[in-house]
Amino acid sequence: MTVTAITLADLAERLGVELAGDPQCVITGLAPLASAKAGQLSFLDNPRYRQQLSHTNASAVILRREELPHCPSNALISNNPYLSYAQLTAWFATAPQAEPGVHPTVVCGTADIAASASIGAHCVIGNHVRIAEGVVIQAGCVIGDNCVIGANSHLYSQVTLYHDVVLGEGVIIHSGAVLGSDGFGFAKTADGWQKIVQLGGVRIGNAVEIGANTTIDRGALDNTVIEDQVKLDNQIQIGHNVHIGRGTAIAGCVGIAGSTRIGQYCLIAGGAGIGGHLTIADYVVITGMAMVTKSITQAGSYSSGTGLQESQEWRKSAARFHQLNQLAHRIQQLEAKVQQLSQQQNA
Amino acid sequence: MTVTAITLADLAERLGVELAGDPQCVITGLAPLASAKAGQLSFLDNPRYRQQLSHTNASAVILRREELPHCPSNALISNNPYLSYAQLTAWFATAPQAEPGVHPTVVCGTADIAASASIGAHCVIGNHVRIAEGVVIQAGCVIGDNCVIGANSHLYSQVTLYHDVVLGEGVIIHSGAVLGSDGFGFAKTADGWQKIVQLGGVRIGNAVEIGANTTIDRGALDNTVIEDQVKLDNQIQIGHNVHIGRGTAIAGCVGIAGSTRIGQYCLIAGGAGIGGHLTIADYVVITGMAMVTKSITQAGSYSSGTGLQESQEWRKSAARFHQLNQLAHRIQQLEAKVQQLSQQQNA
Amino acid sequence: MTVTAITLADLAERLGVELAGDPQCVITGLAPLASAKAGQLSFLDNPRYRQQLSHTNASAVILRREELPHCPSNALISNNPYLSYAQLTAWFATAPQAEPGVHPTVVCGTADIAASASIGAHCVIGNHVRIAEGVVIQAGCVIGDNCVIGANSHLYSQVTLYHDVVLGEGVIIHSGAVLGSDGFGFAKTADGWQKIVQLGGVRIGNAVEIGANTTIDRGALDNTVIEDQVKLDNQIQIGHNVHIGRGTAIAGCVGIAGSTRIGQYCLIAGGAGIGGHLTIADYVVITGMAMVTKSITQAGSYSSGTGLQESQEWRKSAARFHQLNQLAHRIQQLEAKVQQLSQQQNA
């Protein structure tokens, strides 16, 4: 369902939330508190934006009951305003809808394509491919042999699936993403490298989202596996045979080296790097740009790196970092000497 | 204008600089001081390459007046040799020129394409797209509905614009770049994530350059905005609702998380990471691989990280880093004890 | 050669290794020790997986002679089991084979394409391009003017080569990789930036592999050069005029800034960043996410960064890092005072 105008009463009913104010108020769009105009609906989730609530020009605001006294407009009272807002966004979607059917410019092997699927211009589909009902594949995608694309999945333009990549249902893949490229595997020879041909595939669960220009390598022998509800941002690199557990969310520019196993419902912030052959427990949080070189066996939040300083000050800190072990030894020597002095004095 | 041979006199006149030497000397190309041959023009900007000046085989060198005595060849005297060289490069460009017109393999919606624009093979153009005079879109690009591409912009092959992406004039976008992909927004549910449909667009100013495989997400509700003269290198990730001020230059592999606002004329070096919802002042310099987790309110240079060490030494420093707080406490205790000892001794 | 079933005797002969057990045992595939089933061949290289050897269901295992007593199955005895396994993988490859010939949807300039080459659907090939025998270019690639692609090279789908990119023989390039995009070069002007048109090209040696979505910029005046046997993983950024020596292997997400020269047989781990205009000696190892801001003149292993801590503990370490120089001064002062006290006491 996409709407261009809807009454607040309708919205409250669909969201299953309580309405405070004018049920006939017509909502024509969504906007942040600060920039919302008449006719628009906004939301307050993070209390640090409470200031903006009292000055908003929104016609209605989704908020928690305790914020109601500060609200100058109509309100929708939700236990989870952010989730209610998330649900709303789908109804106001403005993205063009794809028409079912295979564009005449598509080059297609022996694929089995459901009637309701939409395949955009200049796509190339391999042999033995199965594309389920409701799938949208936008222009310029290349789908290798033996791929399976589950119902209602959506591939934006210029996605590449190598052969033997299997997607679950409701998977979203953004432009430029590459799934099934070779893992980085070579054996050293006398004067170079012998390629290890990558014989595994890629298995993506249901409701997985994969960001623009993210890459997921195929397995060396077994598959690379991404479980249901995993959310991957842009420019992520997933090495061969990585296994990511259900519901884990990973922000942009993260790199995960081969054969690492990440648990369920982890949160990995942008730019983090995770070494190969590690195991990360469930519910682990990794903060931005952290470097993970050992397995993590306990849920919790983990970090590395140094905070930002003015460059001139930072150069001093960085120079001292190189002396840290020596500084620690000097502290130890001082402690010994001071104890000795103290004993002599008290003797 | 592209030249294959030009006299030094002509070059001096076009650049508006002074000539020292033979005005009839014919220049057929550009080269660095060290590898230049007869007929080639070189430049000296960074004084650390002065050594190379005296041995160059270039037929002429662009340089500052004070370097003239060391120059064994003809010279063009410029107050800003690097800028003069930059201007020159355009005249010696060797890249193939695109022919105006729409290639017959292009799949095109209801687009309004100027007569002088060039659309390469296998491009896919959506509905309600406006493409201005002098635009070049090379092979295999996909342009979504409602996009606007300003005059003389140049999209190299395989660029993807989602719907509602607006480019100013003279914008250059390199291959594999993706503009308008969904921002990374999800609301937590009991057992997974509810997608927040991204309703904003992308607005790119005039004379912006965007590197290969760089990704710029569309806004959640408002737009993601890149102002005029911003220069973005390859493999950069720009989150939703980021705003980058005029003239800021960002090197490769930088990641900028959502809703962060970066000022004008900032310089952000390669691999830096900038957290979400931050504000960075004008004229800020961020050094390579720095991690920015707080807003920066003052112009200046900022850094984080540690310098490179031999791995064996580094492991000791890194181990001591974990003990830093404890080491600081031990210093504090030592200071107290030493003061006590000193007082007792002097008592 | 691709096999679906082969006797152990045949394998031993082809690999040039010794067989222990049943020469008639038929091998139908490869698998890791832990998941291998009857009919499959596995290998033991890293002694930490020795535990898995005694429980494997593989029909045969490639291993070193000293592991033979622990092997419950047939064995192939190799001095280098990992290399033997690497050689084997090619024989069991399952990737679809490309048919020679140019697909009718290809748009092609004045290219010289060998009869045995295979050009996939919707590729676009420029003018004056030379494509040698045995080359495979998969669907949706764009090859610029004057490119040369050496014998038996393989470009996966959606690779982009700008003009004047020259590949050696046996080069493999994965999807989304971009070679020859403009280096990041601008001269500062009063209110913005003057583009430095990039006039160099890209030269790739023999047996180079380039990962998915990796970008290699063209040179400013000279070429960017990647020597024979260099192996590049996914999402790597190589700046203009970088030179990488023979046999160097670089893992995912590494960034190398312009004009840096890297020696032969270096190993650079994932996420490392290397500054511009540096020289890195042969046989240098850079560990994961290390930041290299100075030239490295000696072979050896180099690191930077801090190890992972629980975030709460890390915040204390990071705060103390900012005070490091001051802490070092306090240690110095303590040392002076303690010496003074010691002298007074002994006086």
Q: Span C11-22, mean pLDDT?
A: 96
What is the distance between the alpha carbons of residues A104 and A96, in angstroms, rounded to a whole number?
20
What is the distance between the alpha carbons of residues C71 and C143, in angstroms, rounded to a whole number?
51
What is the distance between the alpha carbons of residues A288 and A301, in angstroms, rounded to a whole number?
11
User: What is the pLDDT tens value at each position of chain B, 347 positions in all?
Assistant: 577 899 999 999 999 999 999 999 999 999 999 999 999 999 999 888 899 999 999 999 999 999 999 999 999 999 999 999 999 999 998 888 999 999 999 999 999 999 999 999 999 999 999 999 999 999 999 999 999 999 999 999 999 999 999 999 999 999 999 999 999 999 999 889 999 999 999 999 999 999 999 999 999 999 999 999 999 999 999 999 999 999 999 999 999 999 999 999 999 999 999 999 999 999 999 999 999 999 999 999 999 999 999 999 999 999 999 999 999 999 999 999 999 998 888 77
- C239 in contact with B at a CB cutoff of 8 Å? yes
Residue type, C97: Q
Residue of A nearest to C318 (CA): A306
Reading phi first (left if > 0) and then psi (alpha if -120 to 50, else beta), residue A271 is in left
Would you say B251 and B268 are in contact if contact means Cβ atoms under 8 Å apart?
A: yes
Q: pLDDT of C209-224, one tens digit each?
A: 999 999 999 999 999 9
Q: Which residues of C touch B308 (CB under 8 A)?
A: 290-294, 296, 302-304
pLDDT for res B1 = 56
- C319 in contact with A at a CB cutoff of 8 Å? yes
What is the distance between the alpha carbons of residues C221 and C200, in angstroms, rounded to a whole number?
4
pLDDT at A259 over 60: yes
Around Cβ A121, how many Cβ atoms within 10 Å?
Answer: 22
What is the distance between the alpha carbons of residues C23 and C34, in angstroms, rounded to a whole number?
23
Helices marked H in chain B: 8-15, 50-55, 81-91, 311-322, 324-346
Q: Residue C149: in which H helix or E strand, if any?
A: strand C148-149
Q: Span A73-77, mean pLDDT?
A: 97
Residue of B nearest to C285 (CA): B311
Distances in whole angstroms, Cα of residue C180 to Cα of each of A268, B12, B36, C144, C259:
33, 31, 22, 9, 15
Distances in whole angstroms, Cα of residue A174 to Cα of each of A91, A131, A212, B217, C214:
21, 17, 5, 11, 17
pLDDT at C279 over 80: yes
| Residue among A77, A33, A37 nearest A53 (CA) | A33
Would you say A171 and C165 are in contact if contact means Cβ atoms under 8 Å apart?
A: no
Residue type, A67: E
Q: Span C93-113, mean pLDDT?
A: 94
| Phi, psi (degrees; rounded to nearest 5) at C340 | -60, -50
Would you say B270 and C183 are in contact if contact means Cβ atoms under 8 Å apart?
A: no
Q: Is the pTM of this model over 0.80?
A: yes
Helices marked H in chain C: 8-15, 50-55, 81-91, 311-322, 324-346
Q: Span A88-117, mean pLDDT?
A: 94
What is the distance between the alpha carbons of residues A284 and A75, in angstroms, rounded to a whole number?
36
Reading phi first (left if > 0) and then psi (alpha if -120 to 50, else beta), residue C72 is in alpha
**List of E strands, B247-317:** 249-250, 255-256, 261-262, 267-268, 273-274, 279-280, 284-286, 291-292, 300-303, 309-310
- Catalytic residue positions of B, numbered: 240
Q: Which residues of C touch A257 (CB under 8 A)?
A: 251-252, 270, 288
The band of C49, judged by pLDDT with boundaries at 50, 70 and 90, is: confident
ipTM of this model?
0.96
**Which chains are within 8 Å of B by 3+ CB pairs?**
A, C
pLDDT for res A24 = 97
Assigned token pair, C20: 């222990």
Q: pLDDT of A176-200, one tens digit each?
A: 999 999 999 999 998 899 999 999 9
pLDDT at A2 over 90: no
- A300 in contact with C at a CB cutoff of 8 Å? yes
- Sheet of strand B74-77: strand arrangement: B18-20, B74-77, B60-63, B40-43, B29-30
Cross-strand bridge partners of residue B262: B244, B280
* Catalytic option among C174, C240, C243, C322: C240
Assigned token pair, A186: 């070579």
What is the distance between the alpha carbons of residues C323 and A324, in angstroms, rounded to a whole number?
12
Q: pLDDT of A107-121, one tens digit each?
A: 999 999 999 999 999
The structure tokens 């230049």 sit at B36
Cα within 13 Å of Cα(C98), Cβ side: 23
> Percentage of residues in chain A with pLDDT exceeding 70?
99
Around Cβ A96, how many Cβ atoms within 10 Å?
Answer: 17
Q: Which residues, 6 or more positions from B177, have their beta carbon under 8 angstroms from its beta carbon?
A: B159, B160, B210, B211, B212, B213, B214, B215, B216
Partner residue facing B181 (CB), from A87, A234, A306:
A234
Helices marked H in B5-112: 8-15, 50-55, 81-91
pLDDT for res C176 = 98
CA distance A184 to chain C (A): 6
pLDDT at C159 over 80: yes
Best residue in B224, B306, B329 to probe A by mutation, most A CBs within 10 Å? Answer: B306
Best residue in C143, C253, C289, C291 to probe B by mutation, most B CBs within 10 Å? Answer: C291
Cross-strand bridge partners of residue C62: C43, C76
pLDDT for res C1 = 56
| Phi, psi (degrees; rounded to nearest 5) at A12 | -60, -40
| Residue among B46, B66, B77, B70 nearest B56 (CA) | B70
**Coil, strand or helix at B229:** coil
What is the distance between the alpha carbons of residues C182 and B234, in angstroms, rounded to a whole number?
9
pLDDT at A1 over 60: no
CA distance A213 to chain C (A): 7
Would you say A85 and A76 are in contact if contact means Cβ atoms under 8 Å apart?
A: no
| Phi, psi (degrees; rounded to nearest 5) at B277 | 60, 30
What is the distance between the alpha carbons of residues B198 and C288, in angstroms, rounded to a whole number?
34
What is the distance between the alpha carbons of residues A120 and A131, in angstroms, rounded to a whole number?
13
pLDDT for res C265 = 98
